[in-house]
Amino acid sequence: MTRRFAAISLSLVVTFVGLMGGTIAAQEVELYLKTGDHIRGVVVMVNTNEVTLSNSWVKLLPIPLSEITQWQTPAGQVATNQNSVPAIPAITSAQAAQLATLAKPSVAKPAPPKAKLHGQINVGVDTLFATTTQQDYFGNLKITYEHAYASNPKKFFRNTSQVSGEYKKTDDQISANRAKASNKSDFDLGKASYGYVSVGGGFDRVRKIDEQYQMGPGLGRHLVRNDDFALNAESGLDYEAEYRSDASDLDSVYLRLAEDFTWKIRKNLTLTKKMEFLSNLDRTSEYQAGLTSNLSYGFWDNLTLNLTAEENYTTEVAPEVQRNEFEFRLTLGAMF
């Protein structure tokens, strides 16, 4: 069995030799057998027990040396003793290694990682006519781009952009009139660590903020990351500026601490939560805190029903503006 595998291996070598224009010579012989037959072919292998030929009608033909009565080569070499075999050109180890490399099947290069782009839009309308009349209109658009590193498909670059707005009237009084936009880019650094840069801006007329923007870098860590549950923690710096209608402008740098998780409870039921705490580096008694929880239920195709609770608290507010704000809303979403 070992000789048979060796013969097959050398047959591949001979085949490659032919394709490459005969860089290694192959010895052709004619063998005369005890049965009276004679066979012509190219010598593929010779050992102490048999010789293996290859010709036009058979690729590998092992013949026992005991059955051979005479050898004859084109050069006229003749041997009648089975132990006296005409000289066959030897293949050096370097040539064998070269041909073995050529004989290896080509392995297709893996396709470069594909970028993923997906998004979700949520809209909500709440109208109430009773002792208190209320009209609430809300919309949010979120687009996420994700691309694996070409050098390491297990590491990713991600970019998340969001735009949201809300307009609410209660008893003909405007109780909400705001819009904001943000963009956050994060990139994996190690097995579980990543860096991020975020920017944002917007306005809130009810809270007397004519214009607001923020930006800041930071580091994060994937504490848990699997198919059903992901938990991240972040820390960094955040610069914020607010230009208010009462001229009580704000310009501060904060230490930012944040945590978020995503829990896929069932195939069509997902719970997400995000907590954020910002401490003013100049005035340590001043801070901001926010908590957002969302329960999303996929009820048909790409459509979802979303139940969101959001609470924000800040100590740095304009006069006559409440420090605490809580909202509870129900929205219809579509993923794409």
CATH number at residue 82: 2.30.30.100
Residue 109 resides in a domain? no
* Same-domain status, 260 and 125: yes
Is 46:53 a contact under the CB 8 Å cutoff?
A: no
Which of 72, 103, 134 corresponds to the end of one domain?
103
- The tens-digit pLDDT sequence of the chain (336 residues) is 444 434 333 343 333 333 333 333 356 778 788 888 888 888 777 777 787 877 877 777 888 888 888 777 766 555 554 445 554 444 445 544 543 454 455 556 667 778 899 999 999 987 666 667 888 899 999 999 999 998 888 899 999 999 999 999 988 889 899 999 999 999 999 999 999 999 999 999 999 999 999 999 999 999 999 989 999 999 999 999 999 998 889 899 999 999 999 999 999 999 999 999 999 999 989 999 999 999 999 999 899 999 999 999 999 999 889 999 999 899 999 999
Question: What is residue 165's predicted lDDT score, i.e. its pLDDT?
Answer: 96
CA dihedral 226, 227, 233, 234 (to 10 degrees): 110
Q: Tokens at residue 212, please?
A: 């607001």
Which of 38, 72, 103 corresponds to the end of one domain?
103
Expressed as residue numbers, the domain containing 123 is 116-335
Q: How many domains does the chain have?
A: 2
Residue of 311, 314, 262 whose CA lies nearest to 286? 314
Q: Tokens at residue 197, please?
A: 């840069």
* Same-domain status, 93 and 130: no
Question: What is residue 107's predicted lDDT score, i.e. its pLDDT?
Answer: 59
* Same-domain status, 295 and 161: yes
Is 33:68 a contact under the CB 8 Å cutoff?
A: yes
Give the C-alpha separation, 201 to 180, whole Å: 6
Question: What is residue 276's predicted lDDT score, i.e. its pLDDT?
Answer: 97
Residue 8 resides in a domain? yes
Give the C-alpha separation, 51 to 42, whole Å: 10
Which of 103, 127, 150 corresponds to the end of one domain?
103
Give the C-alpha separation, 320 to 324, whole Å: 12
Residue whose entry in the numeric block shows the structure tokens 């735009």? 163
In terms of DSSP bridges, do strands 116-129 and 324-335 run parallel, antiparallel, or are they unpaired?
antiparallel
Residue 111 resides in a domain? no
pTM over 0.85: no
Beta strand residue intervals within 189-228, DSSP E = 193-204, 209-225
* Same-domain status, 96 and 228: no
Question: What is residue 17's predicted lDDT score, i.e. its pLDDT?
Answer: 37
> How far apart, in Å, are the Cα atoms of 206 and each of 5, 39, 160, 321, 325?
85, 102, 27, 8, 12
Segment (H or E) for 10: helix 2-19
Residue 110 resides in a domain? no
* Same-domain status, 127 and 92: no
Give the C-alpha separation, 189 to 195, whole Å: 7
Give the C-alpha separation, 255 to 258, whole Å: 10
Q: Which residues, 6 or more positions from 130, have their beta carbon under 8 angstroms from its beta carbon?
A: none
CA–CA–CA angle 39, 44, 48 (5° rounding): 90
CA–CA–CA angle 188, 152, 236 (5° rounding): 5
Is 213:225 a contact under the CB 8 Å cutoff?
A: no
Residue 54 resides in a domain? yes
